[in-house]
Structure 1
Amino acid sequence: MSEESKTYDAGTIVVLEGLEAVRKRPAMYVGSAGERGLHQLVFEAAEQALNEILVGTAGQVEITLTADGGVRVADDGTGLPVGVGHADRADGPSMESRLTVLYCGARPVDRRSLSSRLSGVGLAVVNALSSRLMAEVQRDGSCRVLEYERGVAVVTSARTGPTDGSGTVITFWPDAEIFETLEFSFDTLAGRFRQLAFLNRELDITLTDVRDLAAPRSVRFRFPGGVKDYIVEQSTPFHSDVIGFECECSEMEGTVEAALCWCDSPEEQIESYANNRPTAGGGTHQLGFHDGLAAALNAHARERQLLSPSDPDFTHTQLGAGLAAVLSVKLDRPEFEGATRDYLGNGPVRACVAEAVREHLTTWLRADPAQATAVLARISATARH
């Protein structure tokens, strides 16, 4: 190798800024240039609208897969502000800034916000990776439209007339120059929005697919019962009713919500989430759940003399046979660990979740002795095998 070929100095460095960087390295911002990244665009576009519901400024979000390959995300909120400037606006960043400045408008990750973002880039990444994007805002009696092509403005705040309504509509068409496929999976999108609606009982989401005009389909996701509704939909209770609760714990600076029942299944089925993020790796919240489960059931078994003083406690494996559960914690300061960030590491969470599960499960066991006996008998039978 020659000395000339080894030369590396400041002149060799290529600096990419703003939306140019997103288009050059899309996988860094949406996970991939394949299906995963394509669907992430929809979640990024929807997140702003869904957060408006959570803070009480909107009631519904409608997401439509259009016949021409686009995606339309509409909310009935107050309408995002339109105008120059962002950081100095009392009502938040302007629509122009949200669409062109990375990380602009990203809400802090706390118990009150969704956090589906991979890197907190929001609407700007959707704009950068779309061949075309239109934003329509109804606010303060007027309707304004902005339009972009590959992140570059082609229509800036055109007023289209007066309106009595309010809300924001984002319509975008993913860029074929960026993505390996432009075919959205209705089932993939529906799965995630259903999940979010279970985890956030305030949400009201409608997903509509009109790509095939001869066979359109639409599904509404709204579950006022929270994760308890999720268990009811997914499981067939066999030995118990569905036990559900939600409470706040100041020690962990957050809330815990759980639902569980015992079903006709040999396996334990637990889904855990932290700040709406699936935690397949587990974490302190899942450890606390098992601690609370063991404390309540073992204490009740001894109280009912199903375990003698010399018998060992039931193990986690024995207690979990046939158990179906969903556990969700929402924290002001979540700490995720692991290469895929799917393990919750907050220390105080374990004790808080354990106490909440122990307390609520104990109350149920004492209130319904017949079902408690059936559950414990099943656990005892499992322990003997």
Structure 2
Amino acid sequence: MSDAANMYDAGRIHVIEGLEAIRRRPGMYVGSTSARGLHQMVYEALSPAVHALLTRGAGRVDVTLTADGGVRVADDGPGIPFESAGDAAAPGLEARLTRLYAGWEPGGGRVARLDLRGVGLSAVNALSSRLTAEVRREGAREVQEYARGVALAPPTTAGPAAGSGTTLTFWPDADLFETTECSYDVLAERFRELAFLNRGLRMSLTDERPPGGARTERFEGGVRDFVALPETAAGGPVHPDILDFEVEDPRMAGSVEVALRWCDSGKETVRSFANSRRTDEGGAHVEGFRAGWATALTTYARERRLLAAGDPDLGAERVGEGLAAVVSVKLDQPEFRGATLTLLAGAEVRSCVEEAVRDHVGAWLERHPEQASAVVARVARGAGRD
């Protein structure tokens, strides 16, 4: 190859600006162009509404899968104005839809974040063949239309509005995604998680696509309800009580919420989350949870002479059989290992969660000696089979 062919200069650099970068490499912003990336589009559109609802502590958000293949996300918040009120204000809706990383939102870092790379609504707009934004605010209804991330016209007033809120309706671009057919079941599972992990959050999912008529499901609750789900707590309970608690700890600049119970099953089901994001690989909060539970159980068993002097401790690797639990931390500044954001780091998180679990589980064991003895016996039998 000649030296001329190997030359690299500024003339060979192609600068990709704005939403073009998202359309060129959609997988970098929503994870993939498969169904997984399609569903991430829905979460990106949902994130600002969920954040706003949790910040102010009231309201609801409704998601609809429309008959023509679109997705509508509607909230009853104050309505995001299309234009910013000034340099110190949060970016307006038009900026969020057209500029990368313009999704600044007040309210602290602990509120549920569903976006993957922080580009939020601009990714939804760029990866949609068309998008309609509607704002209901101060008695007026404004609408703006987009096509593949480009505004077709400035926002226009479309008449009076009853109530307030923001509605985004988008149609994922079939030229970019392998499928544009959202799975109702996948979205329903994620929305159920969000409602359980964020007490007070009210959500709904409606599917207008079935030929037999629309179906709707509503979601709200808490972590106790999460553990009570059949798929989380497989088998009948060894003890009927669900132990749940929430602890704020400034040492980790956050809080931990746990719900657990023991079930008549050999399966261990521990679901973990950081700022409402699934941590499928676990991490510091899960390590702390298991260590705290094992310490509490071992201490109780030795004090009540349920273990022989020569028996080993009930280590973290031995106490999981039949355990159904949800471990959720909400942190000001969560740290993750790797780019997938599914493995939580932080020595402080581990030690704080371990302490909280040890104290609360230990107190529960003291209050329920009969159930505690049954759990210890079950764990000891399981260890004996190892």
Q: Which band: TM-score by shorter chain?
A: over 0.9
AA in 2 matched with 1:188: V
Query: Cα distance, 1:164 vs. partner?
Result: 3.4
Q: 1:125 corresponds to which residue?
A: 123
CA contact (8 A) 1:110 1:333 kept: no
Q: Equivalent residue of 1:171, what SS?
A: strand
- How many residue pairs match? The answer is 381
**Match runs of 1:55-66 below 5 Å:** 55-56=55-56, 58-66=58-66
Cα deviation digits, residues 99-153 of structure 1 (max 9, x gap):
1111112448955322222210011111111111111101111111111111111
Partner amino acid for 1:336?
A: F
- In structure 2, the residue matched to 1:320 is 320
Say whether the 8 Å CA contact 1:57–1:77 is kept in structure 2: no
Distance 1:108 1:137, change over 3 A: closer
Q: Is the 8 A contact 1:110 1:275 kept in 2?
A: no
Is 1:171 the equivalent of 2:163? no
CA distance in 2, matches of 1:202, 1:112: 15
Q: Paired residue for 1:188?
A: 186
2:153 is the counterpart of 1:155? yes
Change (3 A) 1:300 1:113: same
Q: Which residue matches 2:44?
A: 44
2:57–2:200 Cα contact (<8 Å) kept: no
Q: Distance in 1 between matches of 2:320 and 2:106?
A: 36
Counterpart amino acid of residue 150 in structure 1: R
**Structure 1 residues 329 and 111: alpha-carbon distance in aligned structure 2, compared to 1, 3 A threshold:** farther
My pick for the range that moved more, 258-267 or 348-357, is 258-267
Pairs within 5 Å for 1:90-169: 90=89, 92-107=90-105, 111-169=109-167
Q: Could you tell me how far apart the structure 2 residues matched to 1:169 and 1:339 are?
A: 31
Residue type matched to 1:35 in 2? Answer: A
Partner of 1:230: 226
Residue aligning to 1:280: 280
Q: Extract unaligned runs of 5+ from structure 1.
A: none
**What TM-score, normalized by structure 2, do the two folds share?**
0.94
* Structure 2 CA distance for aligned equivalents of residues 317 and 30 of structure 1: 35
d(CA) in 2 for partners of 1:36 and 1:109?
29
Shift of 1:381: 2.2
Contact 1:58 1:76 in 2 (8 A): no
Q: SS of the residue aligned with 2:19?
A: helix
CA contact (8 A) 1:281 1:342 kept: yes
Contact (CA 8 Å) 1:41, 1:126: kept in 2 or not?
yes
In 2, Cα distance between the equivalents of 1:25 and 1:88?
31
1:271 pairs with 2:267: no
| Match in the other structure for 1:68 | 68
Give the TM-score, by structure 1 length.
0.94
Contact preservation (8 Å) 1:110, 1:331:
no
**Structure 2 unmatched runs, 5+:** none
C-alpha contact 1:260 1:323 (8 A) present in aligned 2: yes
SS at match of 1:98: helix
Shift of 1:86: 6.7
Q: Post-superposition shift, 1:249? A: 0.8
What are the residue-to-residue correspondences of 1:78-93 with 2, within 5 Å?
A: 78-83=78-83, 85=84, 88-90=87-89, 92-93=90-91
CA RMSD of aligned residues (A): 1.7
Instruction: Measure the CA separation in 2 of the matches of 1:296 and 1:150.
Output: 56
Post-superposition offset of 1:314: 1.6
SS at match of 1:356: helix
In structure 1, the partner of 2:257 is 257
For 1:287 and 1:68, the matched residues in 2 are separated by 46
- The whole-number CA distance in structure 2 between the counterparts of 1:172 and 1:341 is 26
Partner amino acid for 1:98?
A: R
Q: Does the 8 Å contact 2:110/2:254 carry over to 1?
A: no
Letter in 2 for 1:230: F
Distance 1:37 1:273, change over 3 A: same
Contact 2:306 2:373 survives alignment (8 Å): no
1:201 to 181, 194, 199: 199
> CA–CA distance in 1 between the matches of 2:82 and 2:110?
25
CA offset at residue 4 of structure 1?
A: 3.0
Q: Which amino acid aligns with 1:351?
A: S
Q: Distance in 1 between matches of 2:86 and 2:313?
A: 58
- Indicate if the aligned counterparts of 2:141 and 2:160 stay in contact, CA closer than 8 A: yes
Kindly indicate whether the alpha-carbon contact (under 8 Å) linking 2:236 and 2:265 is maintained by their aligned counterparts in 1: no
Contact 1:54–1:112 at 8 Å: present in 2 too?
A: no
Q: Distance in 2 between matches of 1:82 and 1:203?
A: 25
Q: Secondary structure at the match of 2:171?
A: strand
